[in-house]
Structure 1
Amino acid sequence: MVVVYSTLLMAVLGLAFGTFLAYAAKKFEVKEDPRVELVKQALPGANCGACGYAGCEAFAKAVVAGKVTPDMCTPGRAAGVAEKIKEILKQNAAS
């Protein structure tokens, strides 16, 4: 009988903790702007810091937030990265 009670107790505790974790995951979910990922994919990925940011992801976040202009990426100038980023921001602003 002890085995049945132990199994039942563990099942109830598992259900309770699982429910709590599911609630906490939804409550504290971090919303991420999908434009950041699109801009990061358009960048060359050199993570050189020539733009003044620690890497391409930090630069992409700053561009989407409107803190900097898209033409600060030195390695991407020849490939037309600034125009690609402007197009991404224009398309998603209209959506």
Structure 2
Amino acid sequence: MLTIVYSTILLAILGFAFGTFLAYSAKKFEVKEDPRVELVRQVLPGANCGACGYPGCDGFAKAVVAGKATPDMCLPGKAAGVPEKIKEILKQNAAN
């Protein structure tokens, strides 16, 4: 009977210790993302077609914000005015 109590206490202590370690690690190694990436991603059509040469709209949004791609590379979004919207997002956030 005493073995069960000690085992339960040990597992509770280990669970708390590992949980604290994981919470600390998650905060310490948190990846900061540019907020403009999400704004550009919202403007894109979400087709994830790869016509721009990047793996989906997420990859294209990251490349545009990093300056590795031009806003007019999104072929499905050209008719909807996506390049102009992306340029406006980049211009507004560059002023801030």
Give the structure-2-normalised TM-score: 0.84
Task: Look up the match of 1:74.
Answer: 75
Q: What is the letter of the counterpart of residue 71 of structure 2?
A: P
44-53 or 56-65, larger mean C-alpha shift? 44-53
Deviation string, structure 1 residues 29-51 (Cα, Å, up to 9, x no partner):
12222211211110111222222
- 2:43 is the counterpart of 1:62: no
- 2:24 is the counterpart of 1:23: yes
Q: What is the letter of the counterpart of residue 66 of structure 2?
A: A
Task: Look up the match of 1:5.
Answer: 6
Cα distance change of structure 1 residues 3 and 51 upon mapping to structure 2, 3 Å threshold: closer
Shift of 1:11: 2.1
In structure 2, stretches of 5+ residues that fail to align are none
% same residue: 81
Q: What is the letter of the counterpart of residue 12 of structure 2?
A: A
Give the ranges of 4+ consecutive aligned residues of structure 1 lying more than 4 Å apart after TM superposition: none
Shift of 1:56: 1.3
**Paired positions, count:** 95
Matches of 1:54 and 1:15, distance apart in 2: 40
Shift of 1:21: 0.9
Task: Look up the match of 2:86.
Answer: 85
Deviation string, structure 1 residues 53-84 (Cα, Å, up to 9, x no partner):
22211111110000121111122111110111
Q: What is the letter of the counterpart of residue 68 of structure 1?
A: A
Give the structure-1-normalised TM-score: 0.85
